[in-house]
Amino acid sequence: MNAHSWYPINLAAIEPQPAKRPATGNLIYPAGRHTVTGEPEAGKGLFAMALAVTEIRAGNTVAWVDLESDEEFVAERLRCFGVEGDELRRFCYFHPNDPIGTLGATEAISVFLYQRRPTIVILDAFAGLADLHGLDSWKSDGVERTYRLVIEPWREYDAATIVIDHVVKSKGDRGRFAAGSERKLGAVDVHIGLDVLEPFGRGRTGRAKISIHKDRFGFLPRPRFGDFLLASDDAGTVTTCGIEPPPIEEEWMPTALMAKVSAYLERQREGVPRSSIKRDVKGKGEYLIAAIDHLIAGGYAIEQPGERGAKLVTSLHAYHDGDPFPYEGTAGNTSPGHGGPTRSPFPVSIHGNGNTSDQAELERLEGIGEEMGLT
Q: In this structure, are residues 165 and 4 in contact, taking their beta carbons and an 8 Å threshold?
A: no
φ/ψ of 259, rounded to 5, equals -65, -40
DSSP for 315-353, written as a single string: ESS---TT--SS-TT-TT-PPTTTTPPP--SS-------
207: amino acid identity, one letter: R
pLDDT at res. 335: 36
d(CA 7, CA 197): 51
Q: Which pLDDT tens digit goes with each residue over 34-72?
A: 999 999 999 999 999 999 999 999 999 999 999 999 999
Q: Is 47 exposed, middle or buried (0-12, 13-18, 19+ CB in 10 A)?
A: buried
pLDDT of residue 341: 33
What's the mean pLDDT in 125-130?
Answer: 91
H helices of 172-328, where? 183-186, 255-267, 274-280, 285-297
Mean pLDDT, the chain, as a whole number? Answer: 83
Lowest mean pLDDT among 9-13, 173-177, 211-215: 173-177
pLDDT at residue 290 above 50? yes
Confidence label for 328 from pLDDT (cuts 50, 70 and 90)? confident
Strand arrangement, sheet containing 301-305: 272-273, 311-315, 301-305
Q: Give me the mean pLDDT over the 16-28 stretch.
A: 87
Phi, psi dihedral angles at 112 (to 5 degrees): -60, -50
Of the options 3.40.50.360, 1.10.10.10, 1.25.40.10, 3.40.50.1820, the CATH number for the domain spanning 255-315: 1.10.10.10
Give 157-186 pLDDT, tens digit per residue: 999 999 999 885 545 444 445 544 455 667
Which fold does the domain 20-244 belong to in CATH? Rossmann fold (3.40.50)
pLDDT for 338? 32
* Secondary structure element (H or E) that encloses residue 64, with its range: strand 62-66
Q: Over pLDDT 90: what percentage of the chain? A: 57
Q: Where are the domains of the chain?
A: 20-244, 255-315
Q: Report phi then psi at 45, rounded to 5.
A: -65, -40
Count the Cβ atoms, other than its own, within 10 Å of residue 354: 9
Contacts of 104 (CB under 8 A, 6+ apart): 372
Could you give the 3-state DSSP secondary structure of residue 42? coil
The percentage of residues in the chain with a pLDDT greater than 70, rounded to a whole number, is: 81
| Distance, CA of 118 to CA of 197 (rounded, Å) | 32
Residue 294 has pLDDT above 60, yes or no: yes
Q: Are 46 and 198 in contact (CB under 8 A)?
A: no
State the pLDDT at residue 245: 84
Contact criterion met (CB below 8 Å) for 210 and 197: no
**Banded model confidence at residue 292, pLDDT cuts 50, 70, 90:** very high
Query: What's residue 141's pLDDT?
Result: 86
pLDDT at 239: 93
